[in-house]
Amino acid sequence: MASQAQRILAIGGVQLGPPSTDWPLHQFLLDLAGQARPRICFVGTAGGESAADRAAFYATFARQAEATHLDLFGRRVDDIEAFLLDQDVIYVGGGNTANMLAIWRVHGVDKALRAAWERGVVLAGWSAGAICWFEGGLTDSFGPDLGPLKDGLKLLSGTFCPHYDSESLRRPRYEELVGSGTLGDGYAADDGVGLLFEGRNFSEAVASLPGQHAYRVERRRGNAVEDTQIRARLLR
């Protein structure tokens, strides 16, 4: 059974499947559950429930965990809250954050995830699956340009920006929006980096590869922005 500790692992970007170098991060995620063979559920709403994403998830986790998934487009689960509460880990994929949140609210997934978090199920995800836990973040949900998203699940305070190192426009645009006050202070993460929150408090940053980092991004007087690097612990 899940513990009563409330934990969220927000990941900047990740790869699934055999070619990935991110297995140390995924092992860390499974270890958070404290079970020999944890139950992990993939929620691929943001990616349109891509069959390729789902297959890559199973290829990554099926040997180490009891893997399952939740589909909402072809919904087969009647009681979503009970289904999610029966998991040890819920892993949310990347894609369109705004669409994902809208679909979740139609099906009550937002409330079910909050209940799971309160019960001690580990919540995690990359990109859209990381932004969603915060008040908001930087997204490309509304078109080719990066813009603010402000209606996250609010389990964590502040905002989040993924892909800080792999998409060149992310960092300057996030700093611009935080500096103007359009988005609140928050965190950013390079690909392969996870930020662990215990309760609502930041605990540590972990990384699959050396040279990858997390960041605390805060507004200062006069629209200035302070971008502080957080050293990530390299996972082995």
Which of the residues are catalytic? Answer: 127, 163
CB 125 within 8 A of CB 137: no
What's the farthest any 2 CA atoms get from each other in the chain? 52
The Cα 163–Cα 173 span in angstroms is 12
CB 195 within 8 A of CB 233: no
Containing 203, the helix (H) or strand (E) segment is strand 201-207
C-alpha torsion 53→140→136→126, nearest 10? 20
Enumerate the β-bridge partners of residue 90. 41, 123
Q: Residues near 156 by Cβ (< 8 Å), separated by ≥ 6? A: 8, 10, 133, 134, 135, 197, 200
Closest to 89 (Cα-Cα) out of 159, 25, 183: 25
Residues 152, 155, 158, 160: is their CA dihedral positive or negative? negative
